[in-house]
């Protein structure tokens, strides 16, 4: 099966099949027709007449960006792009179809509509990544606009991309060349739609084993960094968009040759603008890439023999990423994705305590406000099981066995940790006794069963999937594979 099939299903798993991502009824879906006769709801578009998209100028840059994406998406299905207008004045009756997009507390337009009781946000306000979709009526009760209101940046973004998907633009329209559906008349439902917080707080993908396929393709299509790597901001803009369209929010970047933060100085700030949390893999602590360890850490990558230089290297990572949406990987392994010959449970405890001290110093925040993950991969659970003292703020990110079988679920005591637990899951793997880089051998039904077990046992803070090359495995993708199993199609 192709990685995009697994990736789509993976995000569906995290967004409501297991728990609640809001309540939805059938009447809250968009409808389409070849004529406007006999249709109900707000007419948003007709041939040659897309809607206006109204956004407060003061709203977040990421909201401005996604509004322009929606305008282009209407063009893909109608043949004519929608227009984006910056305004804090709500559309009036007779001014044409309109969509209002905004974030609570950042949009003067949205806040005014809330104050005047034209939009009800009581079920999403203050919640994580939630949104409401509601038709706005004028004083006579006639519908004048569709409002998409988010509780935060990603809530607004998910609400907008939900419209895109409903009108016929697949999340895979670019990566897998899925042809958009052509429309004539588009009608928004009069029934409000509320989407609450997702089942898993942080959910995303890891590019790994990305050479030669993804790397060579990217080199042919994107500018290279000063280090010769193609994973620059132009590449990651496409990746971030895909992940957000799939309702994800978390990425570990390509690491065989890439160095996310220094291949392109725009990468870190751009992730924050999009609303993407950036992490690093299990052997890349403190927001620094594996390839940085060899280039910029003086001496051996060894805590016992080179502690001063290792500390300096880690501190620089915390300082560099402190103002961005970063989930800091903690802990330490040996050089080059291998077990360390010198680390012990006691010394690893020292490593993590130092890393947390560096994070609080760099960010000026308490540990409870700094997302941190310690990846329980390969030999690492052996250290933990010897009784290490690691603060509850750290998310324990457990792993499968590289073959899709869950190795460990949280104990009752671990479920009480404020940082919670996570899961690192493989669709791609390179290593003994066999590799599977280009053809996935994990059955989707198995993933469903194993991840459902994980969720029911309290592992709900963070899920990330190793998806390998991504692009090489999606070139012949067809849109129907987005919903391969009946039990995975409901959100």
Q: Which residues of 313-337 are buried (b: 16+ CB within 10 A; e: fewer)?
A: bbbbbbbbbbebbbbbbbbbbbeeb
Closest CA to 113 of 87, 94, 95: 87
Chain centroid offset of residue 317 CA: 22
Query: What is residue 228's predicted lDDT score, i.e. its pLDDT?
Result: 95
pLDDT tens profile 110-131: 999 999 999 999 999 999 999 9
CB atoms within 10 A of CB 43: 18
Question: Would you state the pLDDT for residue 425?
Answer: 93
CA distance 257 to 208: 10
Distance CA 299, CA 293 (A): 9
Tokens of residue 216, six digits = 């060579």
Which residues, 6+ apart, have CB-to-CB distance to 73 below 8 Å?
Answer: 163, 164, 167, 169, 180
Q: Is the pLDDT of residue 32 over 70?
A: yes
Question: What is the mean predicted confidence (pLDDT) over 196-208?
Answer: 92
Cα separation, 127 vs 360, whole angstroms: 25
Q: Over the stretch 332-352, which tens digit does the pLDDT of each residue have?
A: 999 999 999 999 999 999 999
pLDDT value of position 438: 64
DSSP string computed for 68-137? HHHHHHHHHHHSS--EEEE-SS---TTS--EEEEEETTT-HHHHHHHHTTSS--TTTTT-TT-EEEEEEE
> If DSSP codes are grouped into helix, strand and coil, which group holds residue 392?
coil
- Between residues 226 and 473, which one has the greater pLDDT? 226
Of the chain, the end-to-end C-alpha distance in Å amounts to 22
424 with 461: CB under 8 angstroms?
no
- Per-residue pLDDT, averaged over 21-34, amounts to 64
pTM over 0.75: yes
Q: What is the pLDDT of residue 439?
A: 65
Query: Looking at the chain, how many residues does it have?
Result: 491
Domain boundaries, given as residue ranges, for the chain: 22-195, 202-488
pLDDT of residue 244: 96
Q: Is the peptide bond before 433 cis (omega within 30 degrees of 0)?
A: yes
Confidence band for 432, pLDDT divided at 50, 70 and 90: confident
DSSP 457: T
- The predicted model gives 18-29 an average pLDDT of 48
Give the pLDDT of residue 440.
67
Quote the pLDDT of residue 140.
Answer: 82
Interhelix angle 153-167/61-78, rounded to 10 degrees, is 0
Query: CA 203, CA 460: separation in Å to the nearest integer?
Result: 10
Fold match between 22-195 and 202-488?
Answer: no
Over 90: is that where the pLDDT of 27 sits? no
pLDDT at residue 14, as a whole number: 64
- Identify the pLDDT of residue 239: 96
Task: Please give the pLDDT value at position 461.
Answer: 96
- Which tens digits make up the pLDDT trace of 4-23? 666 676 666 665 444 334 44
Please give the CATH superfamily to which domain 202-488 belongs: Glycosyl hydrolase family 115 (3.20.20.520)
Q: What is the structure's pLDDT at 20?
A: 38
Kindly provide the b/e burial profile for residues 172-211, where b requires at least 16 CB atoms within 10 angstroms of the residue's own CB: bbebbebebeebbbbbbbeeebbbbbbbbbbbbbbbbbbe
206 φ, ψ (degrees, to nearest 5): -130, 120
Q: How far is CA 239 from the centre of its chain?
A: 10
Of 485 and 117, the structure prediction assigns the larger pLDDT to 117
Contacts of 428 (CB under 8 A, 6+ apart): 3, 208, 209, 436, 437, 440, 466, 467, 468, 469
Measured between alpha carbons, how far is 12 from 85 in angstroms, rounded to an integer? 33
pLDDT for residue 484? 36
Tell me which of 468 and 108 has the higher pLDDT: 108
Residue 100 in this model has a pLDDT that exceeds 80: yes
pLDDT digit string (tens) for 263-310?
A: 999 999 999 999 999 999 999 999 999 999 999 999 999 999 999 999
pLDDT at 472 over 80: no
Q: How confident is the model at residue 428 (pLDDT cuts 50, 70, 90)?
A: confident
Instruction: Give the CATH number of domain 22-195.
Output: 3.30.379.10
Q: Is the pLDDT of residue 381 over 80?
A: yes
Angle of helix 444-456 relative to helix 3-12, nearest 10 degrees, comes to 30
Looking at residue 435, its pLDDT comes to 81
Separation CA 384–CA 330 (nearest Å): 13
More confident residue, 461 or 37: 461
Mean per-residue pLDDT of the chain: 89
Q: Which of 91-95, 195-199, 304-308 has the lowest mean pLDDT?
A: 91-95
**281: β partners:** none
* Residues 6+ away with beta carbon under 8 Å from 409: 398, 453, 454, 457, 458, 459
Would you tell me how many other CB atoms lie within 10 Å of the CB of residue 300?
Answer: 15
Structure confidence at residue 486 (pLDDT): 36
Taking CA atoms, 9 is separated from 257, 313, 376, in Å, by: 28, 38, 24
Task: Express as a percent the part of the chain with pLDDT over 70.
Answer: 90
Q: Is the pLDDT of residue 102 over 60?
A: yes
């Amino acid at each position: 099966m192709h990685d995009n099939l697994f990736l789509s299903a993976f995000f569906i798993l995290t967004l409501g099949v297991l728990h609640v991502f809001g309540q939805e009824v059938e009447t809250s879906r968009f409808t389409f027709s070849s004529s406007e006769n006999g249709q109900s709801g707000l007419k948003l578009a007709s041939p040659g007449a897309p809607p206006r998209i109204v956004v407060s100028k003061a709203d977040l840059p990421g909201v401005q960006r996604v509004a322009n994406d929606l305008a282009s998406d209407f063009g893909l299905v109608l043949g004519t792009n929608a227009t984006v207008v910056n305004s804090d004045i709500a559309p009036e009756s007779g001014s044409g179809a309109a969509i209002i997009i905004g974030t609570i507390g950042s949009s003067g337009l949205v806040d005014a509509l809330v104050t005047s009781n034209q939009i009800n946000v009581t079920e999403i306000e203050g919640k994580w990544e939630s949104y409401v979709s509601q038709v706005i009526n004028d004083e006579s009760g006639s519908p004048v606009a569709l409002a998409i209101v988010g509780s935060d940046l990603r809530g607004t973004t998910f609400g907008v991309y939900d419209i895109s998907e409903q009108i016929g633009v697949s999340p895979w329209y670019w990566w897998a060349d899925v042809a958009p559906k052509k429309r004539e008349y588009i009608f928004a439902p009069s029934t409000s739609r509320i989407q609450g917080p997702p089942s898993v707080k942080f959910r995303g993908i890891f590019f790994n084993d990305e050479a030669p396929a993804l790397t060579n393709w990217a080199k042919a299509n994107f500018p290279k960094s000063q280090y010769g790597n193609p994973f620059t901001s132009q590449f990651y803009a496409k990746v971030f968009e895909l992940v957000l369209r799939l309702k994800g929010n978390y990425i570990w970047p390509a690491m065989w040759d890439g160095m996310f933060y220094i291949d392109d100085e725009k990468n870190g700030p751009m992730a924050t603008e999009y609303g993407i949390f950036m992490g690093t893999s299990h052997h890349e602590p403190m927001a620094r890439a594996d390839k940085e360890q060899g280039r910029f850490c003086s001496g051996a990558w060894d805590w016992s023999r080179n502690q001063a230089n290792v500390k300096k290297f880690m501190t620089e990572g915390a300082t560099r990423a402190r103002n961005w949406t970063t989930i800091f990987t903690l802990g330490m392994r040996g050089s080059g994705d291998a077990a360390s010959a010198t680390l012990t449970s006691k010394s690893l405890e020292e490593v993590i305590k130092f890393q947390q001290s560096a994070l609080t110093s760099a960010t000026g925040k308490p540990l409870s406000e700094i997302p941190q993950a310690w990846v329980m991969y390969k030999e690492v659970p052996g250290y933990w099981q010897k009784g290490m003292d690691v603060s509850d703020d750290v998310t324990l990110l457990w792993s499968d066995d590289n073959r899709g079988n869950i190795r460990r679920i949280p104990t009752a005591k671990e479920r009480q940790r404020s940082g919670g637990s996570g899961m690192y899951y493989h669709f791609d793997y390179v290593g003994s006794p066999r590799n599977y880089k280009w053809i996935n051998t994990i059955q989707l039904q198995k993933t469903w069963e194993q991840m459902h077990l994980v969720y029911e046992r309290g592992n709900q803070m963070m899920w990330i999937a190793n998806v390998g090359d991504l692009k090489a495995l999606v070139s012949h993708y067809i849109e129907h594979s987005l919903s391969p199993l009946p039990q995975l199609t409901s959100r």
